[in-house]
Every structure is written in C-alpha cells, then in structure tokens.
Amino acid sequence: MKRLAVLFTILAVLAAALLLLLPKGTQKRQPDAEHQIILGFSQLGSESGWRIGNTRSVIAAAERAGVQLMFKNAEQKQENQIDAIRSFIAYQVDVIAFAPIVEDGWDNVLREAKDAGIPVICSDRSVTLEDESLITGFVGSDFYQEGVRAGEYLIKKIAGVTGPVRIAEISGTLDSTPMRDRAQGFRDTIEKDARCQVVYSESGDFLRSKGKEVMVDVLATAGEVDVLYSHNDSMTLGAIETIEQHGIVPGKDIIIISVDGEQGAIDLLKQGKINCVVECTPMLGDVIMTLARRLAQGETIDRVTYSQETVFTDFDEDMLSIPPRGY
C-alpha cells in the first residue's frame, strides 16, 4: 500500500512537471459555455464625441450580452493602458479587448497576455507587432479607405477648377492607426491630380481644442488655403470656430472635409459649413461581444472584421433625411 502511495505521488509530481514544461502560450484556459464571460476592456480616453459614443456602445452591448465588463479608461496615456491590461491578466479575465492609442510598444504586455492564455482583440485601432499571433483579431474601420474616400470626394468637388488646390491637413494623434492610414489613403488618392498640394499638416490630437488652435496656425502661416482635411469631427468643429472668427465662410471659402460622422458634423453639413463627412462608426460594442464569446468558447475568429461605412456630402440630394447618428 505504502509503495502504491509513493508511486502515485511520483506520478503526480511528474505530471505537474510536464505541465510546467509545456510552452507557456499553450496552457489554454478551459473553454466553458456556462460561466459568465469576463471581458477586460481598455479604452484609450475620452478625446472626442466619437470616443464617448464608442464607450457607450461597449458598455451597453456588454449589458445586453450578459458579459461581465471590467472597463478602464486610460485618459490618453499608453502607460495606463499597459497597466490596465496587466490588471486584467492578474484578474484572469476570459478575453481582453483594447483600443490602442498608438501602434507601437505593445509587444511585452501582449506577450504576457498570451502566456497567461488570454486572447486579445484590438478594437478600433491596431498595433504593429513582431509576433502577429499576440493578438487574435481586429475589429473596427478601414482607415485607409476612409482617406481614399476623402480624396475621391475632393477630386469630384474640384472638377473644372484650374490652378493649384492648396490643402491644409489637421491630423489625428501621431502614430495612431487612423492618423497614419487616413493621411496615406488621402495622399495616395490625390497625388494622381497635379493640382492638389498638401501645403500644411499638423496633428490636432483628435481634440476639439487643438483643432481650434492648429487652425489659427494654418491661417497665420500657410497662406491661402482652399481645403481643410481634418482627421476627425471634433477637430473640425474647433477649426470651424477659428475660421468663422476670422470672417472666412467655412464650406464656401474653404472646402471642409471631415471624418467620423458625429451628429454635430452632420448638422454643419446640412447648414453648408462642412462639405464632406466620411463616416467612421464607433458602434463596435455588439461585434466585440460576439467575438469575445467565440474566443471564450475556444473558437477562432477572423483576423479582421471591418465596419460597413459610407460618405455624406454636399452632393447628396437626400442629405436632409440622414437619420440621427447616436454619437
């Protein structure tokens, strides 16, 4: 009997040692359809109407889906997002989703999540990684296409215009995915037209206050500009305040192209103060919950899930009937 007990002990120790030898990422958490899913969500901040709409969408969708949400707002700081992700790992949540403020600098913390067997979804913005397997998927917009749509609108708008078209750009947070891709998609589209020249580009950090401030600099230093391309509606609303304070008529003296589709921007489109609003939807909550549930049950998800989006412009005949935006 005693020998048998010793044998069992040895076997148990061997089994435990074998488990420890397994590569860390393969120590999968057990998929379980029964228990309530715990989702850790790290939001990057509250910089814009879009972001506030996005936060609302995630919280409401979690409630609808019966998902227990651990929500943390990083107040615009990457360190806070890294701390939040570490706390989700310590808490052993089932799935982590986060909206990365910038693209770089996530490798270490995401490796920790993978080692803990917790799948990670990038929501809204994406990351650049050496090891792509550190995230399971991305859900959000195709920002490059948004830039292309902005450029295509401009080319259509300036049909028949001779001479140079001078463009000022107010971009989003430096090194964030929407900033990089909205700038690139726009440039790749307008560069085919020799009239188009980007004569000014500065970041307004996606903030209304900075949009207002940067526009002061545009008017003081860039000379006459024909077009303002602003990477989000909050900055556009700020820039328009400056433009009007200078006695310039937005939408007429300067063509205004914006991105997001907030209610405030659509209202100005209807009033003729904005010419084009490229839609970017913040309503990602339901998709995130669906993907989180699949991951928690051990299923795989698509690498990329893009939102369906459109463009609202002063060419639209039914502009007045755009339904309430909800953000």
Total residues contacting ligand GYE by CB under 6 A comes to: 13
The residue (of 115 and 241) whose beta carbon lies closer to ligand GYE is 241
Query: Which of 37, 38, 39, 48 is the binder for ligand GYE (CB under 6 A)?
Result: 48
Round to whole Å and give the CA distance between 304 and 289: 15
Nearest distance in Å: CB 111, ligand GYE: 24
Q: Does 51 bind ligand GYE (CB under 6 A)?
A: yes
> CA end-to-end span of the chain, whole Å?
71
Q: By CB under 6 A, is residue 50 in contact with ligand GYE?
A: yes
Is 226 among the residues that bind ligand GYE (CB under 6 A)? no
CB burial readout 34-53, b (16+ within 10 A) else e = eeebbbbbbbbbebbbbbbb
By the rule CB under 6 A, 280 interacts with ligand GYE: yes
327 binds ligand GYE (CB under 6 A): no
Q: Are 72 and 44 in contact (CB under 8 A)?
A: no
| Site membership for ligand GYE, residue 181 (CB under 6 A) | no
Alpha helices in the chain (DSSP H): 2-21, 49-65, 78-91, 107-115, 143-157, 177-190, 208-221, 233-245, 263-270, 285-296
CB of 22 to ligand GYE, least distance (A): 37
Q: Which stretch binds ligand GYE (CB under 6 A): 43-51, 153-161, 287-295, 302-310?
A: 43-51
By the rule CB under 6 A, 41 interacts with ligand GYE: no
Residue type at 37 in one-letter notation: I
* Type of residue at 121: I
Q: Which is nearer to ligand GYE, 114 or 231 (CB)?
A: 231
Per-residue x/- track, 116-135, ligand GYE (CB under 6 A)? --------xx----------
Rg of the chain, C-alpha, whole Å: 24
Binding mask 64-103 for ligand GYE (x = CB under 6 A): ----------------------------------------
- Residue 149 engages ligand GYE in binding (rule: CB under 6 A): no
* Given 203, 232, 258, 275, the residue binding ligand GYE (CB under 6 A): 232
Instruction: Tell me if 279 contacts ligand GYE by CB under 6 A.
Output: no
**Least distance in angstroms from the C-beta of 84 to ligand GYE:** 17
29 close to 115: Cβ distance less than 8 angstroms = no
- 200 touches ligand GYE by CB under 6 A: no
Q: At CA 215, angle to CA 210 and CA 221, rounded to 5? A: 125
Can you read off the two tokens belonging to residue 12?
A: 């148990």
Instruction: Tell the smallest beta-carbon distance from residue 50 to ligand GYE (Å).
Output: 3
Distance, in Å, from the CA atom of 118 to the CA atom of 29, rounded to the nearest integer, reads 7
What token pair was written down for 214?
Answer: 């940067």
Does the protein bind ligand GYE through residue 260 (CB under 6 A)?
Answer: yes
Where b means 16+ CB within 10 Å and e means fewer, 148-168 reads bbbbbbbeebbeeeeeebbbb
Two structure tokens written together for 244? 């009007």
What residues make contact with ligand GYE under the rule CB under 6 A?
47-48, 50-51, 124-125, 178, 206, 232, 234, 259-260, 280
